[in-house]
A and B are shown apart, each in its own frame.
Chain A
Amino acid sequence: MRQSRRFKLTLRQRDNIMGYIFILPFIIGFILFILSPVVQSIVLSTNEVRITSTGFELDYIGLSNYNFALRVHADFVEELVNVMRLMLMNVFWILVFSFFAALLLNQRFRGRLIARVIFFLPVIMSSGVILKLEQEDYMMGMLEGTVEETFNFVNFDALSSFLMRLRIPDGFMETIALAVDNIPTIINASGIQILIFLAGLQSISPSLYEAAEVEGGTAWENFWLITLPMISPLILTNIVYTIVDFFISPNNTLVQMIRNTTFQGAGFGVSAAMSWIYFTAIAVILGITLLIFNRLVFYHE
């Protein structure tokens, strides 16, 4: 107050100045460590890069790095399509599972605390070097077999021939097949999403359910008419988070391919071109997702 009287600042001016002071670290960081590398990577992608002892030299070669990635490179396009398909299935199942798990963890029962501690464990366990070792590990390969065996009470061959007879479309079949094969992966990739959904469920005002009870609503109706619409913005948040998380994960095969290209393969320029193609694909998918789901989301205000 005293300060603003001395400088005769209006509230709006104060907000402008204080706002920029607070976000100043991000502005600096964004320009230095995000924007400038992004611009540089555009430059790299149109050049041939050679590392020398005092720096690096660039030779402008136009779009031929992109051309190389898309037309010449043996696996890039195939892997890109593959990653997209995997992503769609993963996102769907992670979302279903995390929503279901959050509904469970939101109920009152004995041992809820322990259940929550366990469900969030993958957030801290399945990352970085631990995950990397598990993927390469011989014993963990055997272990995955054990866990899958446990889940084989669903006889998958019988199930698939049954679904075939029902003339279920192939894409749908594949989705189910992937889910059954990947139960542990999906559970382990759902930690943050469960956290987000749970937070959402807990923020739904109990008075809505009370009102529904007075009107004679059943649990089934409550779910479709209260829980789902109220949580729909978070479904969108989670879809976006899951897509991004899947795409930028260091364990993603395409990300690994781009990295290998940098140091062992065709070099910095081609790998920068590859990341740009990849980023464009991500942006397009995110754009389509937002376009489709934004209509379905219910906003409270």
Chain B
Amino acid sequence: MASLVAKVSYGKLTINGKQVLNLNAVSSFVYRVFRFLIIVGISYVILFPLIVKFSSSIMTRTDIWDTSVVIIPKYPSMNNYRLAYRFMNFPVAFFNSLKLTLGVSVFQLISCTIVAYGFARFKFFGRGLWFSLVIFSLIIPPEMILIPLYLNFRFFDLWGILPDGGLNLLGTNWPFLLPAMTAAGFKNGLYIYIMRQIFKGMPKELEEAAYVDGAGPFRTFFTVMLPGALHGLVIVFLFSFVWQWNDFSLTSFYLPDAEVLPIALSNLARNVLGDQYLHAPVEGSLVNNAGSFMIIFPILVVYAFLQRYFVESVERTGLTG
């Protein structure tokens, strides 16, 4: 009887000179299965709350206490949405929010892009100092400047130019719009940083060609650089839109009584349930989930349209270096 000769070379297992197994293929298969499981696991953690939020938003009390109902309710109803729509005064709050958010994000996009271009392409005196101030503006806790800003907007007088006492800008959109116009809003340092990296990553020859053709710096910026930086513009716009749209912290500070979505949502359960609010956490939760979904939905739609700028061309965001 011939003896068995098993040999492994170059990752291939051979027995009596005949290849029976390619170990490389096995290990790569195991790895792929492992990778798949991990990705599914992480996606589960991210998506599960969203799915539960949606499913509970179409549930009724009966479904909640029915232990056989896990995700899919037996008696789906739109009642929570109806309640949320009515008590948030949805159409009004939606358009107020849209007006505020669009204003803020468009202004932030314009101001941060212009400033970032200045940092990226012109070697001016004090550039390092000013850029470190951009970073400084990013790391100071908002709570620190919030109180003085609050007082400034409450008694807004532009250093005594306006009549005494000044204007009360609280309750208007100006406390959001003014910093947005001057690249000093929430997380604007981050946007300047992103856009600066993108402009730095673009070839200098483009601008030189434009200068040779007789275009000035402004025309070059608008006609040559901006179209090339489209990916960055989209990402900055999306960040700025989402953070303003969801923002509760600043909004509750400057617009405590306004009919905008974050405020309306945070008061929703209390308004729907009245005095019962604290004693009926489940009912409150059902309405809140419906309300949350109504707020997130527009963002999800925008994200669905713009996601390719995120996922396909991340390398061109220029966040590197």
The DSSP consensus for interface residues of chain B is: helix
Contact across chains for A244 and B182 when beta carbons are under 8 A apart: no
| Beta-carbon contact of B111 and A26 below 8 Å | yes
How many of chain B's residues have a CB under 8 angstroms from any CB in A?
A: 100
Contacts of A95 in B (CB 8 A): none
CB-CB under 8 A from B127, the residues of chain A are 19
Query: Which residues from B are CB-within-8-Å of A229?
Result: none
Say yes or no for A37: interface residue by CB 8 A criterion. yes
- Quick check: is B29 within 8 A (CB to CB) of the other chain? no
A278 contacts B by Cβ under 8 Å:
yes
A161 touches B (CB below 8 Å):
no
Alpha-carbon distance between A117 and B309 when the two chains are bound, in angstroms: 11
- Residue B46 contacts which of A28, A146, A188 (CB distance < 8 angstroms)? A188
9-residue interface stretch from A68-76, A134-142, A170-178: A134-142
Interchain CA distance A21-B115 in the complex, whole Å:
9
Judge whether B143 and A139 touch: CB under 8 Å: no
Contact A25 B111 (CB under 8 A): yes
User: Which residues of chain A are within 8 angstroms of B50 by Cβ–Cβ distance?
Assistant: 121, 125
Is A28 a contact of B182 with CB atoms below 8 Å?
yes
Residues of A contacting B87 in the complex (Cβ-Cβ under 8 angstroms): none
Q: Report if B273 contacts A (CB, 8 A).
A: no
0 or 1 for each of A144-156: is its CB under 8 Å from B? (1 = yes): 0011001000000
List of B residues within 8 angstroms of A244 by Cβ:
138-139
A140-B289 Cα distance, complex, nearest whole Å: 10
Contact string, B264-278, partner A, CB cutoff 8 A, digits 1/0? Answer: 011000000000000
Let me know if A129 and B125 touch, CB within 8 A: no
Q: Are the C-beta atoms of B243 and A26 separated by less than 8 Å? A: no
B218 CB → nearest A CB, Å: 9
Q: Are A41 and B141 within 8 A (Cβ)?
A: no
Question: What residues on A are CB-neighbors of B54 within 8 Å?
Answer: none
Evaluate contact between A200 and B144: CB separation under 8 angstroms. Answer: no
Q: Which residues of A contact B48 (CB under 8 A)?
A: 143, 146-147
Taking a contact as CB atoms under 8 Å apart, the answer to whether B314 and A195 are in contact is yes
B46 and A121: CB pair below 8 A?
A: yes
Q: Is A67 engaged at the interface, CB distance under 8 Å to the other chain? A: no
Asked, given contacts A22-B118, A128-B247, A133-B288, whether A104 binds B38 with beta carbons under 8 Å apart, the answer is: yes
Whether a CB of chain B sits under 8 angstroms from the CB of A163 is no
Tell me how far the C-beta of B173 lies from the nearest C-beta in chain A, rounded to whole angstroms: 15
- Whether A279 and B140, one on each chain, are in contact in the complex, defined by CB atoms closer than 8 angstroms, is yes
- Chain A, 8-47, CB within 8 A of any chain B CB: 12, 14-23, 25-30, 32-34, 36-38, 40-41, 44
Give Cα distance in the complex from A251 to B136, angstroms: 21
Does A278 lie within 8 Å of B122, measured CB to CB?
A: no
Contact assessment for B310 and A116 in the assembled complex, using a CB-CB cutoff below 8 Å: yes
User: A1 touching B139 by the CB < 8 A rule?
Assistant: no
Q: Say whether B266 contacts A138, CB under 8 Å.
A: no
The chain A residue with its CB closest to the CB of B64 is A139
| Chain B residues in 8 Å Cβ range of A2 | 214
What CA separation (Å) do A278 and B125 show in the bound complex? Answer: 33
Contact of A129 with B266 in the complex, beta carbons under 8 Å: yes
8 interchain pairs, CB-CB under 8 A: A113-B312, A124-B238, A127-B246, A183-B45, A203-B320, A244-B139, A248-B140, A258-B141
Task: Identify the 9 closest CB pairs spanning chains A and B, nearest first.
Answer: A22-B118, A29-B182, A19-B124, A128-B246, A29-B184, A19-B122, A138-B281, A202-B315, A275-B144
What residues make up the interface of B, taking CB atoms closer than 8 Å to A?
Answer: 32, 35-36, 38-39, 42-50, 52, 56, 111, 114-115, 117-119, 122-125, 127, 130, 133-134, 136-149, 151-152, 155, 164-165, 178-179, 181-185, 188, 192, 211-212, 214, 216-217, 238-239, 242-243, 245-249, 261-262, 265-266, 281-282, 284-286, 288-289, 292, 295-296, 299-300, 303, 307, 310-312, 314-315, 317-321
